[in-house]
Amino acid sequence: MAEQFDLVVVGGGPGGYVSAIRAAQLKMKVALVEREHLGGICLNWGCIPTKALLRASEINHLLHSLDHYGFAADNVRFDFAKVVKRSRNVANQLSMGVKGLLKKNKVTVFDGHGKLAGPGKLSVTKDGKPVADIAAKHIILATGARARVLPGMEPDGKLIWTYKEALVPPAMPKRLIVIGSGAIGSEFASFFLNMGAEVTLIEVLDRILPVEDAEVSAFVHKSFTKQGMKVITGAKVQGVRKEGDSLAAIVEAGGKVTEIKADRLISAVGIVGNVEDIGLEGTKVQVDRTHVVTDAMGRTGEPGVYAIGDLTGPPWLAHKASHEGVITVEAIAGLHPHAMDTLNIPGCTYCRPQVASVGLTEAAAKEKGHEVKVGRFPFIGNGKAIALGEPEGFVKTVFDAKTGALLGAHMVGPEVTEMIQGYTIARTLETTEAELMHTVFPHPTISEAMHESVLDAYGRVIHI
């Protein structure tokens, strides 16, 4: 006899566990099925442990820049195993925190692999053995995604890594190739560079961080190069030749083919949705390029089956998955939530320098037919940034010239990943330049550059 629930969530990542907790808050009887780690890829093998590593690389950079602040230290060194161990401890701590939250909210957790087994039914197995048969009127699929594998560059766990192997390397590589300059690739490239590796970053498109505003991409490219990274754009990796405990990548760029030798290679070329073996066969669930198709409320083509997070369409971000989960659960509960505007989802990349953005780029705004006003403010004009010793970078704002609507904001520099939320709130509230100009920003803060960028768009900038 199948145990009955109001809602079953398949997948315990940032979309899944948040969905389960929100449903429990709405007095539903909820089950969550997770086959590996509560918290999902983000918490265990993505967002959180990478930030712990990047914090270590930031400290390493500062320790080698002490003279700038009037300090001196001899024999500065690090224990790479301890650096990696700390990041794993951080992830484990938070995973246990998710377990506690689910228990607090009386969510029943099944340890196993969930698979649709007919209308309103789900089977749970572990290592091929049955765990439970459960039933619910509503089932949310939040099975996430995994790294895309390029033919000829299949990860072997030794020489060729995905993000998972890159998070737990047994030793610090001296030479590293990173393929793909999106957020994941740029963060790993920045981490290993700042820990002392010789890094080559390869991007098939004509610029790195290709989803960001072109000015931001150009600035990060220049900064990476200044730090000692080799950046190659418009490049295609034709293949990889393994040579004992090292490898050589055959790279075509600018009409020339060259070999780049390294100890290890990280492939960060996107993701594919985990649509296999979850029982979609025989249902009306549509899959487009490995991702499940849904409406604005998370509904699939199969009645009673919903999908959220990386299993569905872009942007593939943890905070998008969590918010999507809340919307879907509230729609199930009949609360009529607002559909999510993906242009109001901020994107953050935690490399050095940090990058953050929300809304349209300048080019995208013009392509959509907007007449724009653009403001820029460099951190070299910001007192707090100079005092911190981090005056590189800028804030860029894009407004509709006719309405004053904030179309987009783009930032590169110190702590911009913490500040972008100010512009995100502004866009959610449909704020114009008038409200932003009349907002009082505290002094001295890096956030004052956000205000100055708005002023600059309208010819009123003060400090530059």
- Residue 51 annotated in ligand binding: yes
Residue 42, pLDDT score: 80
Q: Which of 210, 237, 269 is the last residue of a domain?
A: 269
Examine the fold and report which residue of 282, 307, 342 is the final residue of a domain before the chain moves on: 342
464 within some domain = no
Q: Is 284 exposed, middle or buried (0-12, 13-18, 19+ CB in 10 A)?
A: exposed
In a shared domain, residues 132 and 276: yes
Asked if residue 234 belongs to a known ligand binding site, the reply is no
Residue 328's nearest CA partner among 28, 4, 112 is 28
* Backbone torsions φ then ψ of 182, nearest 5 degrees: -70, -165
Provide mean pLDDT across the span 345-357. 98
Local confidence band at 31 (pLDDT 50, 70, 90 cut-offs): very high
**341 labeled part of a ligand binding site:** no
Domain count, the chain: 3
Question: Taking 90 as the threshold, does the pLDDT of residue 244 lie above it?
Answer: yes
pLDDT at 355: 98
**CA-to-CA distance for 108 and 124, rounded, in angstroms?**
13
pLDDT digits over 408-420, tens only? 999 999 999 999 9
Per-residue pLDDT, 2:
84
The Cα–Cα gap between 289 and 253 comes to 28
Give CA angle at 93 (87, 97), nearest 5°. Answer: 145
Q: pLDDT by residue (tens digit) across 107-129?
A: 999 999 999 999 999 999 999 99
Task: Specify the pairing of strand 160-161 against strand 264-267.
Answer: parallel
Cβ neighbors of 129 (< 8 A, separation 6 or more) are: none
CB atoms within 10 A of CB 382: 28
- Cα 16 vs. chain centroid, distance in angstroms? 17
Residue 449 has which token pair? 């550059």
| Containing structural domain, residue 405 | 353-457
Check whether residue 91 and residue 192 sit in a common domain.
no
pLDDT at 424: 98
* 60 assigned to some structural domain: yes
Residue 134 shares a structural domain with residue 279? yes
Clarify whether residues 265 and 285 are in a common domain.
no
Whether 75 and 195 share a structural domain: no
Residue 180 annotated as part of some ligand binding site: yes
State which amino acid sits at residue 450. Answer: M
- List 64, 319, 443, 463, catalytic entry: 443
Note whether residue 240 is domain-resident.
Answer: yes
pLDDT of residue 46: 86
To the question of whether residue 270 is assigned a binding role by annotation, the answer is yes
Considering the domain architecture, whether residues 372 and 412 belong to the same structural domain is answered as yes
242 labeled binding residue: no
Could you read off the pLDDT of 138-161 as tens digits, one per residue? 999 999 999 999 888 899 989 999
- pLDDT at position 45 is 85
- Report, in angstroms and rounded to the nearest whole number, the Rg of the chain calculated over CA atoms: 24
pLDDT at 212 over 80: yes
Which pLDDT does position 152 carry in this prediction?
Answer: 86
Of 323, 346, 312, nearest to 19 by C-alpha is 323
Write down the mean pLDDT value for the chain: 96
* Residue 301 assigned ligand-binding role: no
pLDDT attached to residue 435: 97
Give mean pLDDT, residues 214-235.
98
The answer to the question of residue 153 being in a domain is: no
- Judge whether 116 and 280 are in contact, CB under 8 Å: yes
Residue range 246-282, pLDDT digits in tens: 999 999 999 999 999 999 999 999 999 999 999 999 9
Residue 133 falls inside a structural domain: yes
- 381 inside domain: yes
Mean pLDDT value across residues 39-47: 86
Q: Are 279 and 245 in a shared domain?
A: no
Do residues 253 and 308 both lie within one domain? no
Q: Is residue 348 part of a domain?
A: no
* 199 plus 143 within the same structural domain: no
Whether the CA torsion 200, 201, 207, 208 is positive or negative: it is negative
Residues 280 and 253 in one domain: no
pLDDT exceeds 80 at position 1: no
User: Tell me, what CATH number does 179's domain have?
Assistant: 3.50.50.60
Are residues 362 and 217 part of one domain?
no
CATH number, domain of 377, equals: 3.30.390.30
* Cα 170 from Cα 81, distance rounded (Å): 7
Residue 350: both structure tokens together: 């935690």
**Helix/strand/coil for 374:** strand
The continuous run of DSSP H or E covering 269 comes out as none
Chosen domain end from 216, 241, 269: 269
pLDDT (0 to 100) of residue 16:
97
Give pTM, 2 decimals. 0.95
For 247, phi then psi, to 5°, come to -150, 170
Residue at 21 is within a domain: yes
Q: Are residues 332 and 393 in the same domain?
A: no
Cβ neighbours, 10 Å, residue 311: 28
Percent of the chain with pLDDT strictly greater than 90: 96
Does residue 443 carry a catalytic annotation? yes
